[in-house]
Structure 1
Amino acid sequence: MIGNSERLTDSEIGERLRLAREGVRLTQKQAADVIGAARTTIVAIEQGKRRIQIDELQKLATSYRTSANAILRREAIHLDMVPRFRKLDDSNDDDVERATRLLNDLVSAEVELENALGVSRARNYPPERPILPGEVRTQAEQDAQELRDWLGLGPGPITDIVSILDLQLGIRVYVRPLQGKVSGLFSYDEAVGACILLNANHPYERLAQTGAHELAHVVSTRRQPEVLTEDERFMSREERYANIFQRNFITPARAVRQRFAEITAGQSHLTRRHVILLSHTFGVSREAMVRRLEELTLAREGTWDWFQGNGGITDAQVREVLGDMPRPDISVASRGLVPPRLALLAREAWKKELYSEGQLARLLHLDRHGIREVLDGAEREESEADELVKILR
């Protein structure tokens, strides 16, 4: 790790200022107005040809929604994922813009903590499988099953998509409330790896589907940033691949067929009770389950539409069937909004007094209550430290 005392070069500071300016969509002229200078001054600063003054840095940092300390910290990393996503999404949708900036900030925060602690994230990505010519269905189905086998998941349901992405594959994944129509985002950067942001406002069933959808992009098109929204209308080959991969990863055909046979044994009609038990088993919505049954020809095409036209499958009916039976759920609310590995980094940085509680809260976009949940018990862990349980390196 490079010490804090080593000063960044003017070129490095200029590049960080450029990325911060583009992140808040300010022009060079608008930035120049902030410090009462000509646009050419901002150009020279960003190119490292003119050293910025401390008062100019403070004014610009405030306008860029950051701090002078964040710009100058040697450990800090500044990424350009926001501009890349903006080029991908020409609509300039404000909700997408906010979500991409949040992903950018969270990735930067995690890498900064890694740098401060002198650690790095191990990547355990599956081999990249570019989408081949022809129909994508067969390849997506095969790739999904091979990844399940590679991860050793067996035929069982996916009960915690976040831990699979974060701990097993080494993908940087975050679950935060997102506004509007954004379901998830994916980006890949050679320096920091694969990064995924999921919408915490969505129920687990949908969140898991989005996570598996974005995982498909890690497998097939990881160098192409992607924004998944609720009202996708244009279906590219890449999106068709991702949707088919997602269904086969979460509800593998053989496991669904076997469970379906067990639940419906000796019965002549598919009932609401069957659907409820199957959707509970695989942790997917009732609609997703029925449509998967239709896809596997275990139910007639139009079965879901029939249920919908005849009163649907209600939450009250689910309670009648399942009672208080726990549902597959990663319990985002109880775990908090920080994935397991990032929470450990934050706790270690706080115990070593590298960052204060307030600094970590700002870095991770958490309020005081949120950061205290992350740090809860860290002080007790430190006081209980003993040579007997020290990790051997």
Structure 2
Amino acid sequence: MDAGKSMNGNSERLGDAEIGERLRIAREAAKLTQAEAAAAIGAARTTIVAIEQGKRRIQIDELQKLATSYRTSANAILRKEAVHLDMVPRFRKLSESSDHAVEQASRLLNDLVRAEVELENALGVARTRNYPPERPILPGDIRIQAEQDAQELRDWVGLGPGPVTDIVSILDLQLGIRVYVRRLDGKVAGLFAYDDAAGACILLNANHPHERLTQSGVHELAHFISTRRQPEVLTDDEPFVSREERYANIFQRCFLTPSRAVRQRFAEITAGQSHLTRRHIIFLAHAFGVSREAMVRRLEELKLAKDGTWDWFQSHGGITDEQAREVLGELPARPSSSVLARGLVPPRLALLAREAWKKQFYSEGQLARLLQLDRHEVREVLDGADIEESEADELFKLSH
């Protein structure tokens, strides 16, 4: 029996070329050579080559053996709505990707994108993309271009001079970028990849503080704007030595703390004052939703503070959380992106999972495996689906 006959009807059967491509992607993700795959089915390497090129139809017993070797299943390979992405090998080609933490994060991003696209295919929906034009990095002063591009994007998403309070919603809902927030190794701040079928995809570290996570999200957004086709990994203490990394770092600062808005707020807060104080820094950092260090560094860059101001504060006791509470009082916690996902899934993906579960396309167990969650976490994602359905029946009838 061949793999094609295991599907329900010829119209539903994947072509040999598509099955071969899926097997190639799964093999590369598992870091196996064609020779090692051939050994798993007791065949010559040329047989694997022919299968992957779609020139030789795979038999069902061969498919089952290869799927086991690739740490997947025959069903996952053959399922019509399933999506097979090859982002992991692309990340592995980066110099940093020999690191185990980066390898794990790239595999997780690949799996989460695959899961979301599979749910979209099963439900017959598509993600709306609102991508701004790509802005390749040009010769000349990179600071000028980064600031112009950052301001253009703020205008594109309608931010005005206000702070960036929820980078996940901007990426996900306004731009249509696939963004996920999961707990990663501390050294990995974020990953970005672009796939022709899936589009732009970003993974951020839920373990990082809100301000750090926001900075990482904007940094990856800068790569989406400037070098869309190049995968990127942002790690702790990134040196920003390349022109692309310098652009992303400047873009990040300009997007989060636009110069005109900073200058105006600085003038308002320091009016009539002769010295820059901790109190000024605390107010400014809170107003723009960035860390106190990021705010001082930006003031230094804009020549609103002398070079070395942050180092001076650090050598004289720093600017502490206790001092911030004395100035600002006990404020409600900012809406943290780690809370938005809580190690689970972003809102749009949660809605897809609920709808697929209500239609009985997927069981709890299948969703747990698809979304890389345990049963308890899946139930949290599905919680309220029945209430939502009854409310929709009573209040929000949609006309199609």
Is residue 348 of structure 2 the alignment partner of residue 344 of structure 1?
A: no
- The equivalences for 1:6-17 within 5 A come to 6-17=12-23
Is residue 294 of structure 2 the alignment partner of residue 288 of structure 1?
A: yes
- When residues 18 and 369 of structure 1 are mapped into structure 2, their CA distance, relative to the original with a 3 A threshold, is same
Alpha-carbon distance, 1:107 to partner: 1.0
Alpha-carbon distance, 1:52 to partner: 2.8
Q: After superposition, what is the alpha-carbon deviation per residue over 1:64-91, rounded to whole angstroms, capped at 9, x for unaligned?
A: 2222211111001111111122223365
Please identify, of 203-212 and 10-19, the stretch whose mean Cα deviation from structure 2 is larger. 10-19
Q: CA separation in 1, counterparts of 2:349 and 2:155?
A: 27
Is residue 263 of structure 2 the alignment partner of residue 241 of structure 1?
A: no
TM-score (structure 1 length as normaliser): 0.94
Paired residue for 2:32? 26
Please identify, of 173-182 and 111-120, the stretch whose mean Cα deviation from structure 2 is larger. 173-182
Aligned length: 392
Is residue 210 of structure 2 the alignment partner of residue 204 of structure 1?
A: yes
Please identify, of 47-56 and 160-169, the stretch whose mean Cα deviation from structure 2 is larger. 47-56
Percent identity for Structure 1 against Structure 2: 80
Q: After superposition, what is the alpha-carbon deviation per residue over 1:29-79, rounded to whole angstroms, capped at 9, x for unaligned?
A: 222333344333332322233333333323322332222211111001111
Structure 1, unmatched stretches of 5+, are: none
Letter in 1 for 2:350: A
- The equivalences for 1:190-201 within 5 A come to 190-201=196-207
Q: After superposition, what is the alpha-carbon deviation per residue over 1:77-108, rounded to whole angstroms, capped at 9, x for unaligned?
A: 11111112222336522211111111111111
Please identify, of 179-188 and 381-390, the stretch whose mean Cα deviation from structure 2 is larger. 381-390
Please identify, of 356-365 and 164-173, the stretch whose mean Cα deviation from structure 2 is larger. 356-365
Please identify, of 158-167 and 345-354, the stretch whose mean Cα deviation from structure 2 is larger. 345-354
Is residue 47 of structure 2 the alignment partner of residue 41 of structure 1?
A: yes
Q: CA separation in 1, counterparts of 2:318 and 2:215?
A: 22
Paired residue for 1:88? 94
Paired residue for 1:369? 376
Alignment partner of 2:369: what SS? helix
Please identify, of 26-35 and 145-154, the stretch whose mean Cα deviation from structure 2 is larger. 26-35
Letter in 1 for 2:127: R
Question: Which of the residues 121, 124, 129 maps onto 1:118?
Answer: 124
Say if 1:165 and 1:173, in contact at 8 Å, map to a contact too: yes
Say if 1:280 and 1:327, in contact at 8 Å, map to a contact too: no
Paired residue for 2:4? none
Alpha-carbon distance, 1:321 to partner: 2.6
Q: CA separation in 2, counterparts of 1:197 and 1:7?
A: 33
Alpha-carbon distance, 1:234 to partner: 5.4
Letter in 2 for 1:55: D
Letter in 2 for 1:392: S
Alpha-carbon distance, 1:262 to partner: 2.2
Alignment partner of 1:153: what SS? coil
- When residues 387 and 314 of structure 1 are mapped into structure 2, their CA distance, relative to the original with a 3 A threshold, is closer
Paired residue for 1:359? 366
Q: CA separation in 2, counterparts of 1:162 and 1:211?
A: 8
Note the aligned Cα RMSD (angstroms).
Answer: 2.0
Say if 1:126 and 1:219, in contact at 8 Å, map to a contact too: yes
Q: CA separation in 2, counterparts of 1:155 and 1:90?
A: 36
Is residue 195 of structure 2 the alignment partner of residue 189 of structure 1?
A: yes
Q: CA separation in 2, counterparts of 1:48 and 1:4?
A: 17
Is residue 131 of structure 2 the alignment partner of residue 138 of structure 1?
A: no
- When residues 334 and 211 of structure 1 are mapped into structure 2, their CA distance, relative to the original with a 3 A threshold, is closer
Say if 2:206 and 2:337, in contact at 8 Å, map to a contact too: no
- The equivalences for 1:291-330 within 5 A come to 291-330=297-336
Letter in 1 for 2:375: R
Question: Which of the residues 170, 174, 199 maps onto 1:168?
Answer: 174
Please identify, of 343-352 and 318-327, the stretch whose mean Cα deviation from structure 2 is larger. 318-327
Alpha-carbon distance, 1:135 to partner: 1.1
Q: CA separation in 2, counterparts of 1:327 and 1:273?
A: 19
Is residue 164 of structure 2 the alignment partner of residue 150 of structure 1?
A: no
